[in-house]
Amino acid sequence: MSTCYKLRKGLDIPLKGQAAMFVDPPVSGTLYELKPADFKNVIPKLLVHEGDAVLAGSPVYCDKAYPEIVFTAPVSGTVSSIVRGEKRKLTGIRIVPDNKNNKAVFPVGAPEDLAPGSVREILLASGCWPYIIRRPYGTPARPEEEPMHIYISCFDSAPLAPDYDFAFAAEEEALQMGLRVMERLCPGKVHLGLSDKTSAHSVFHRLPGKKHVFSGPHPAGNPGIQIHHVCPAGKDRVIWTLSPLGLVVIGRLFLQGTYDTTRLVAVTGSALERTGYIPCHAGAQITSLTGFLQKNGMEIRAISGNPLTGDTVGEDGFLGFHHQQVTFLPEGYNRELLGWARPLRLHRFSAARTYLTFLAPLLGKTAQFNLDTNTNGGPRAFVMTGDYQKVLPMDIFVSHLLKATLAGEVEKMEKLGIYEVLPEDVALCEFICSSKIEIQDIVQQGIDLMIKEMQ
């Protein structure tokens, strides 16, 4: 028996460029990169040097604070370069694959036959542990902690997000095994969040566990939104979250004894001639997606992830550790005559219903928009409009939380819900913000401050 939650607040952004339901041949990239920036509050310590040979699953770097948490190579090959930024900050470890994909082998077995401590050791040694995210703060889970619950959102409601029913249709065995592993770590407290639109034939309906069904617009698919309604995180209430992708990688580890980051990535965006899905490994270079041609004469922004929360990486960038989507959007450098004051603008979308395009659903039509990256204005005075509450289905006063964060008032931040939010949860607030404020950055600054204060 599942519990149903109907969320009325939120916003679905009708972008063109959804991934078509077909799969391209797998790509064999010429370069891969592990990016420490994919993990919050991790200070990397290198375990390899340039020229070292690695296997898929070999340790590449670890967390200085928790050396047992290692980050492993997605493919076998040679470490070609160590990339550093300002003040010699480690920003990437690049690997040239040998196209043999030899893998390190780990001693695994049925999770029920292993002690929970042994399961943790296998996950840590293989590099699968970083798929488990800790709330509060959104950092990799701490190995010594016992979570109150483990939560897995089985759908993604973000703009142009991959269809999980399609992407994981062939992964039932790995998903089942991954759930058995999670149950071993937190018996009886693993929750699954499903959409009311999830197909009745979906693999997720065949998974065991406590199921919760959510309906409503984005961000209904965000784990943070679902956790807020099911089992809220707090200062002393640690919740672990996991994506279906992480669950599959963990399942493969216990089925095959190897670390396999292969994923079906949705290649999306209106800047492409065509879209679709393509199998590749974590850290693959974006330029390896050569089958998806870009429209001629168009300046393009390449994003690893979705348009709201993804990372701008450029065409020479690399796929993020947690990402299962790549988005190509037109750059918005052009300015329009009269701007927002033009009377019709039938090609534009407005969350505030400024244009007549909001009437399309009332006329029985489905409107999709070819939006670019133009923010239509720069930062301005912070105005209390109440708009944030219209798109955030959480009992949190975002404006007050942001002001407390900017003022560095830790006690107020605690009372106003800093433990329950991550930047992805307030991405829609940033999208509709009339003041053009970088809300996700402010929330991350608040989380960083809380981590520093609580150490």
Q: Which residues contact 16 (CB under 8 A, 6 or more apart)?
A: 270, 368, 369, 370
Q: Are residues 67 and 178 in the same domain?
A: no
Residue 27: what pLDDT? 81
Domain boundary among 41, 71, 97: 97
Residue 397 lies in a domain: yes
Same domain? 116 vs 251: yes
Task: Give the total number of structural domains in the chain.
Answer: 3
Cβ neighbours for 411, distance < 8 A, ≥ 6 positions apart: none
Same domain for 124 and 220, yes or no, is yes
Cβ atoms of 148 and 239 within 8 Å: the answer is yes
Task: Return phi, psi of residue 218, to 5°.
Answer: -60, 135
Asked if 152 and 202 sit in the same domain, the reply is yes
Cis peptide upstream of residue 379 (ω within 30 degrees of 0) = no
Q: What DSSP assignment string belongs to 178-194?
A: HHHHHHHHSTT-EEEEE
- For residues 117 and 84, state if they share a domain: no
136 shares a domain with 88: no
Place of tokens 């089925």: 255
Q: Looking at 256, 278, 313, which one is the last position of a domain?
A: 256
State the Cα–Cα distance between residues 150 and 153, nearest whole angstrom: 10
Q: Which stretch of DSSP H or E encloses residue 90?
A: strand 90-97
The pLDDT value recorded for residue 160 is 96
Digit-coded pLDDT (tens) for 151-197: 999 999 999 999 999 999 999 999 999 999 999 999 989 999 999 99
Is the same domain home to 249 and 226? yes
**Quick one: 211 and 145 in the same domain?**
yes
Identify whether residues 172 and 244 lie together within a single domain: yes
Residue 339 forms part of a structural domain: no
Q: What pLDDT does residue 245 have?
A: 98
Measured distance CA(22)–CA(26) in Å, rounded = 12
Q: pLDDT (tens digit, 9 = 90+) per residue, 80-135?
A: 999 999 999 999 999 999 989 899 999 998 999 999 999 999 999 999 999 999 99
| Both structure tokens of 250 | 């963990």
CB 190 within 8 A of CB 210: yes
Question: Quick one: pLDDT at residue 293?
Answer: 83
Q: Count other Cβ atoms within 10 Å, centred on residue 100.
A: 11
Q: CATH code at 65?
A: 2.40.50.100
The pLDDT of residue 361 is 61
Residue 308 lies in a domain: no
The answer to whether residues 70 and 88 touch, using CB atoms and an 8 Å cutoff, is no
Rounded Cα distance between 43 and 34, Å, is 14
Residues 250 and 161 in one domain: yes
53/138 same-domain check: no
Residue-wise DSSP of 408-450? T-HHHHHHTTTTT--GGGGHHHHHH-TT---HHHHHHHHHHHH
CATH code of the domain in which 160 resides: 3.40.50
Q: Does any domain span residue 60?
A: yes
Q: Which domain holds residue 393?
A: 375-454
Whether residue 340 is contained in a domain is answered as no
Residue 272 maps to a domain: no
Element (H, E) at 403: helix 398-407
Domain boundary among 239, 256, 273: 256
Pairing status of strand 311-312 against strand 300-304 = antiparallel
Phi, then psi, of 369 in degrees rounded to 5: -125, 140
From first to last of its 455 residues, what are the pLDDT tens digits of the chain?
578 999 999 999 999 999 999 999 988 889 999 999 999 999 999 999 999 999 999 999 999 999 999 999 999 999 999 999 999 999 999 999 998 989 999 999 899 999 999 999 999 999 999 999 999 999 999 999 999 999 999 999 999 999 999 999 999 999 999 999 999 999 989 999 999 999 888 999 999 989 999 999 999 999 999 999 999 999 999 999 999 999 999 999 999 999 999 999 999 999 999 999 999 999 999 998 878 888 887 889 999 999 999 999 988 999 999 999 999 999 987 776 666 666 566 667 777 777 666 666 655 556 788 888 888 778 888 878 889 999 999 999 999 999 999 999 999 999 999 999 999 999 999 999 989 999 999 999 999 999 999 87
148/168 same-domain check: yes
